[in-house]
Amino acid sequence: MESTSDQSISESSSGFLSDQPSCTKPSVIVIGAGIAGLAAARALQGASFKVTLLESRDRVGGRILTDYSFGFPVDMGASWLHGASKDNPLASLIARLGLPLYRTSGDDSVLYDHDLESYALFDMEGLQICQHLVAKVGEVFEALLEETKKVREEFAEDMSVMKAFSIVMERRPELRQEGLAHKVLQWYLCRLEGWFAADADNISVQSWDEEELLEGGHGLMVRGYAPVVTSLAEGLDIRLSHRVRKVVRRRHHGVRVITEDAKIFDADAAVIAAPLGVLKANLIKFEPRLPDWKEQAIADLAVGNENKIALFFETVFWPNVEFLGVVAPTSYSCSYFLNLHKATGHPVLVYMPAGRLANDIEHLSDEAAASFAVLQLKRILPNATEPTKARWAAILTMQLENPMIYMSVFALLLKPFSLQERLHVTIFQAQFMALLLLGFWQLQNAASNS
């Protein structure tokens, strides 16, 4: 079924489907066994397609990775279900698997997948910020965001949220914050940056709020996402350690997919569920090239970066809140820790840097990255003990030439306008369901050529 020869030698090899139309099941190759590829492959197999899934790593799940090295599950990639309602296909699967969700907030907030009350914010001298100030600055932040909508109506050209903020503050100086309130405002910005996995000077003011979230609020996967991935993968023909390098449209019919080590797979169609970063870096070549409009969309749409550093402690010394926030004079120096103890009972804090900070941390060794997270913790909780174990989400990055691209979370940055429409996906779909960029490129091309 699988040829290990390169394309020229493969004239004599059969591939897994013949060049001639056949009366057997239509076949599809799905590239990438992240949640999008797994979901696409399952749907296609359920619709009687013959499906083969090619995955470059030696495991499935992609940016979903549940780590068990602490002796219990800790999600180092995705860990929330955003939109825990019946409209979310994952919600029914999660319920069927009997997996508990820990609700971190209702559905009325795009910015925070956690209720504000679940946070304890501290400055770098270990002073806890009073909730009254946090709430008050939160209102200012919302007012600022509201004002940026006016700015975007005035300017034809897109600009960053950061730039729009500075215009608003020029016009409405009473919204400027000083001292501790300024630091809290920076922390709000840091949360916004965390949501988009990008810095505010990269987030589009035209598009930051285009996202449509499903109803049902946000739930943390208490036992990790691994069972979901395992269940989706069950019964599929998955070829691990098969890194695709080329997708070629065959002359008469179908598509040929060639891996890094020159294995050849032929099928009627291919679905590309590799990350946007991989497509942006041209790590998969298409013959013929993708249509201009699609290449343009891939180029214009940006990706952001988010990391996780999980710290395991002997005892819990932190307050019983869902999140510990670090406030600082710039959003870059602000950060936050997810308290897994609250949701799971395990003494673990997960440091979650995003944007430029995440990029910078990725350049550190694993030990230095963990030490950096501990340093932040000690700044806000001077009595913090040393963690006994640490785990860094770099395990997600290792196998690609450009780890930063790979780690990325899909984000709407500058230039996007109606990019989702061009890619025919909503952000939510892109985050979790499918990035079917090639989609039925092969079929469309075949149709337009016939």
Ligand X SMILES: Cc1cc2nc3c(=O)[nH]c(=O)nc-3n(C[C@H](O)[C@H](O)[C@H](O)COP(=O)(O)OP(=O)(O)OC[C@H]3O[C@@H](n4cnc5c(N)ncnc54)[C@H](O)[C@@H]3O)c2cc1C
**Footprint on this chain of ligand X (rule: CB under 6 A):** 31-37, 54-57, 62-64, 77-80, 82, 243-244, 273-275, 278, 283-284, 306-308, 393, 407, 409-410, 431-432, 435
Q: Which is nearer to ligand X, 79 or 148 (CB)?
A: 79
Nearer to ligand X by Cβ, of 141 and 432: the residue is 432
Please state the closest distance from residue 177 (CB atom) to ligand X, in A: 29
Nearer to ligand X, 28 or 64 (CB): 64
- Name which of 275, 260, 352 is nearest 306 in CA terms: 352
Q: Smallest distance from the beta carbon of 116 to ligand X, in angstroms?
A: 19
Smallest separation, CB 76 to ligand X (Å)? 7
Distance of closest approach, residue 213 Cβ to ligand X, in angstroms: 10
Residues near 141 by beta carbon (within 8 Å), at least 6 away in sequence: 185, 188, 189
Least distance from ligand X to the Cβ atom of residue 136, Å: 29
**Least gap, CB of 450 to ligand X (angstroms):** 28
Considering the complex, state which of residue 36 and residue 264 has its C-beta at the smaller distance from ligand X.
36
State CA 336 to chain mean position distance: 18
Work out how close the CB of 435 gets to ligand X at its nearest, in angstroms, rounded to a whole number: 5
Residue nearest to ligand X (CB): 34
Would you call 445 exposed, middle or buried from its count of C-beta atoms within 10 A (0-12, 13-18, 19+)? middle
With helix as H, strand as E and coil as C, how does the chain read? CCECCCCCHHHHCCCCCCCCCCCCCCEEEEECCEHHHHHHHHHHHHCCCEEEEECCCCCCECCCCEECCCCCCEECCCCEEECCCCCCHHHHHHHHCCCCEEEEECCCCCCCCCCHHHEEEEECCCCECCHHHHHHHHHHHHHHHHHHHHHHHHCCCCCEHHHHHHHHHHHCHHHCCCHHHHHHHHHHHHHHHHHHCCCCCCEECCCCCCCCCCCCCEEEECCCCHHHHHHHHCCCEEECCCCEEEEEECCCCCEEEEECCCCEEEECEEEECCCHHHHHCCCCEEECCCCHHHHHHHHHCCEEEECCEEEECCCCCCCCCCEEEEECCCHHHCEEEEEHHHHHCCCEEEECCEHHHHHHHHCCCHHHHHHHHHHHHHHHCCCCCCCCEEEEHHHHCCCCCCHHHHCEEECCECCCCCHHHHHCCCHHHHHHHCCCCCCCHHHHHHHHHC
**Closest approach of Cβ 21 to ligand X, in Å?**
27
Cβ closer to ligand X: 123 or 266? 266
The smaller minimum CB distance to ligand X, of residues 53 and 137, is found at: 53
CB of 164 or CB of 247, closer to ligand X = 247
Q: Which is nearer to ligand X, 62 or 387 (CB)?
A: 62
Burial class of residue 179 in the structure, from the number of CB atoms within 10 Å of its CB (0-12 exposed, 13-18 middle, 19+ buried): exposed
Nearer CB in complex with ligand X: 82/391: 82
> Minimum Å distance from CB 149 to ligand X?
26
Closer of 148 and 420 to ligand X (Cβ): 420
242 vs 112: CA distance, rounded Å: 38
Residue 417 or residue 428: which is nearer to ligand X going by CB?
428
Q: Which residues of 198-237 are buried (b: 16+ CB within 10 A; e: fewer)?
A: bbbbbbbbbbbbbbebbebbbbbbbbbbbbbbebbbeebe
CB of 281 to ligand X, least distance (A): 10
Question: Least distance from C-beta 408 to ligand X, angstroms?
Answer: 7
Identity of the residue, 183 or 308, whose beta carbon is nearer to ligand X in the bound complex? 308
Distance in Å, CB of 125 to ligand X, minimum: 29
